[in-house]
Amino acid sequence: DAGITQSPRHKVTETGTPVTLRCHQTENHRYMYWYRQDPGHGLRLIHYSYGVKDTDKGEVSDGYSVSRSKTEDFLLTLESATSSQTSVYFCAISESRGSGYEQYFGPGTRLTVT
Amino acid sequence: AQTVTQSQPEMSVQEAETVTLSCTYDTSENNYYLFWYKQPPSRQMILVIRQEAYKQQNATENRFSVNFQKAAKSFSLKISDSQLGDTAMYFCAFMKSWLDGSGAGSYQLTFGKGTKLSVIP
């Protein structure tokens, strides 16, 4: 358990509304990530952060923005939700283990856009 | 860009038997890490095993072991003495690390599409 929580765990929203998902970690990890999981696609990286106020885009960043104003919180915002953003969203952290890094995941948030 | 391919969408195995899940990847990098993650019906992503590309010795974790063939870009997972709790989706993942201009690393993962494993009593 890497001390990662996500909120909310489930959300249903309407097309066109803004949505913010929160990832919270308690162990002062520098690197944090947002992935989405869709059937037939595995997990795909949306955005990541390598420090407070330091973020960068991943493979599927269109329609998403992120913010990290403090080490423990990494927020993912859908400015205007679309049905194609219905997915399961995972937050993750990278942690140094031995000679390399490993990623650990939060429990996920299931988002449905109607 | 890296790609990870899992060619077996679904597999099944009898309880107590051995099963091997396949993964191939494409990269021009020489230094990287490979992982297998397990996702049971609870949806939680669980790290099963890690392999460093510079290590020739295959990683093992209890009943889980890998066959890492760097030249062939192959990374298979073997599960011995399969148990009902091994029923899950299994994802192969690739990690490249690099430094951007600011000196920050990334350590992001590229995943395959997964293999659904069912263990039959």
Is residue B116 within 8 angstroms of chain A, CB to CB?
Answer: no
Q: Which of A75-89, B53-67, B93-107 has the lowest mean pLDDT?
A: B93-107
Residues 37-66 of A with CB under 8 A from B: 40-45, 48, 50-51, 54, 56, 58
B91 vs A42: CB contact, 8 Å cut-off?
Answer: yes
Q: Could you tell me which residue, B102 or A49, shows the higher pLDDT?
A: A49
Residue B47 and residue A102: Cα distance in Å, rounded?
Answer: 8
Interchain contact B106–A (C-beta under 8 A):
yes
Nearest to B95 among A35, A101, A105 (CB): A101
| Apex B111 CA angle, B19 and B102, nearest 5 | 140
Is A105 an 8 Å CB contact of chain B? yes
CB contact under 8 A, A31 and B43: no
- At residue B103, the pLDDT reads 56
Average pLDDT, chain A: 94
SS3 A84: helix
Confidence of residue A96 (pLDDT cuts 50, 70, 90): confident
Would the CB atoms of A50 and B105 count as touching at under 8 Å?
A: yes
Three-class secondary structure of residue B66 per DSSP? strand
| Residue B31 near chain A (CB below 8 Å) | no
What is the number of other CB atoms lying within 10 angstroms of the CB of residue A51? 13
Chain B neighbors of A40, CB-CB under 8 A: 113
State the first-to-last Cα distance of chain B, in angstroms, to the nearest integer.
41
Mean pLDDT of A11-30: 96
Residue B37 to residue A104: CA distance in whole angstroms: 10
Predicted confidence (pLDDT) per residue in B54-94, tens digit: 888 999 999 999 999 999 999 999 999 999 999 999 999 99
Tell me what the mean pLDDT of segment B25-35 comes to: 91
Q: What percent of chain B has pLDDT over 70?
A: 93
pLDDT at position B28 over 80: yes
Chain-chain contact of B44 with A90 (C-beta, under 8 angstroms): no
CB-CB contact of B93 with B24 (8 Å): no
Nearest of B36, B55, B13, B10 to residue B112 by alpha carbon? B36
Q: How far apart are CA A53 and CA A112, in angstroms?
A: 28
- Between chains, do A48 and B113 touch, taking CB under 8 Å as contact? no
CA angle B114, A45, B28 (to 5 degrees): 75
Q: What is the pLDDT of residue B101?
A: 54
